[in-house]
Amino acid sequence: MLAKDPGDHVVVVTGAGNGLGRAHAHAFAAAGAAVVVNDLGGGRDGSGGSTGPAQHVVDEITAAGGRAVANTDDISTWHGAKAVIDQAVDTFGGLDVLVNNAGILRDRMLTSMSEAEWDSVIAVHLKGTFCPTRHAAEYWRNRAKGGAANDARVINTTSPSGLFGNPGQTNYGAAKAGIGGFTVIAAMELARYGVTVNAVAPTALTRLTDDLPAVHKLAETVDLSPEGVSPLVVWLAGPSASNVTGRVFAAIGGTVAVVEGWAHGPQAHTDGRWTQQQLDEVLPALLAKAAPNADMTGQRPPQ
């Protein structure tokens, strides 16, 4: 169930031509929402472009009796992102939910990564979350200033790589970690306008993860289909989540979890300025008490 009458709900899903985005678009349409299916139609590395993937998802939705339109604008650009938001408002009369899901991969070890491989991934994931959210936020702010009440949602896509780390993905992980921080701050800023902002860190078998042996191994025992993540995304758009904001959730097979953010662990205090000798004495003991970092499944190894 969505936050209001599903027949009046308008949802934008970016990167919705394949994988998670496609699953989310179908799930929202099945709930009765009108969906703007955004996808540039490029490869998993961001190269190329085609109207095919977005239109194919629209055709699937409409064949099932749903409402959807295709959009192929580049949401990592200011004007492309605005065009997506404008299309939702112009076509369906408003905007209630923005799902920022578009992404690419250009994995490389740090010592071999090129500037282009860094820039392209940061642009699609991080700027591609900022730009649509910025234009959607302006729309909702203007509505609020005009006396209208919003019950709107932003649902971002982060990743275990950004939350817990994964070798070969400094670009992707940095972008996804940035989305986590963006989510927390945007939630603080947009609450006054009746907008919640949350993020989901999915583990799913898609074309972005298809060449990762660890994902395939996990998929032998856990259902990692993209469709398994969509119920959480739709729930975040619904009435039960109206007061949930600034949170990051993990979805992995049949498990959902609230991801707890950075917090101070063991600590020490001095009334003066720390010396190197004092730190030599204090920090090893603090590190010994500190919980280890979680692995890619979000679990801490035993101490």
- CA angle at 24 for the pair 23 and 27, rounded to the nearest 5°: 85
Query: Which residue has better confidence, 191 or 6?
Result: 191
CB-based burial, 274-290: b 16+ in 10 Å, e otherwise = eeeeeeeebeeeeeeee
Residue 220: pLDDT band with limits 50, 70, 90: very low
Q: What per-residue confidence (pLDDT) applies to 295?
A: 87
Q: Say which range, 46-50, 140-144, 167-171, 255-259, has the weakest mean pLDDT.
A: 46-50
Q: What is the DSSP letter of 123?
A: I
Residue 296: pLDDT band with limits 50, 70, 90: confident
pLDDT at 205 over 70: no
Domain boundaries, the chain: 10-259, 264-302
Residue 1: pLDDT band with limits 50, 70, 90: very low
Beta strands in the chain (DSSP E): 10-13, 34-38, 67-71, 97-100, 152-157, 195-203, 248-252, 255-259
Query: Which residue has better confidence, 123 or 165?
Result: 123
Residue 107: pLDDT band with limits 50, 70, 90: confident
Write down the catalytic residue from 120, 161, 172, 230.
Answer: 172
159 is catalytic: yes
Counting Cβ atoms within 10 Å, is residue 210 exposed (0-12), middle (13-18) or buried (19+)?
exposed
Query: Which residue has better confidence, 188 or 261?
Result: 188
Residue 113: pLDDT band with limits 50, 70, 90: very high
Q: What's the average model confidence in pLDDT over 128-144? A: 98
Say what the pTM is: 0.91
**Domain 10-259 falls under CATH 3.40.50.170:** no
Please compute Rg for the chain using Cα positions: 20
Write down the catalytic residue from 76, 120, 176, 230.
Answer: 176
pLDDT at 224 over 80: no
176 is catalytic: yes
Q: What per-residue confidence (pLDDT) applies to 212?
A: 55
Write down the catalytic residue from 120, 127, 139, 159.
Answer: 159
pLDDT at 141 over 80: yes
Q: What are phi and psi of 296, to 5 degrees?
A: -65, -15
Q: What's the average model confidence in pLDDT over 5-15? A: 82
Residue 218: pLDDT band with limits 50, 70, 90: low
pLDDT at 207 over 90: no
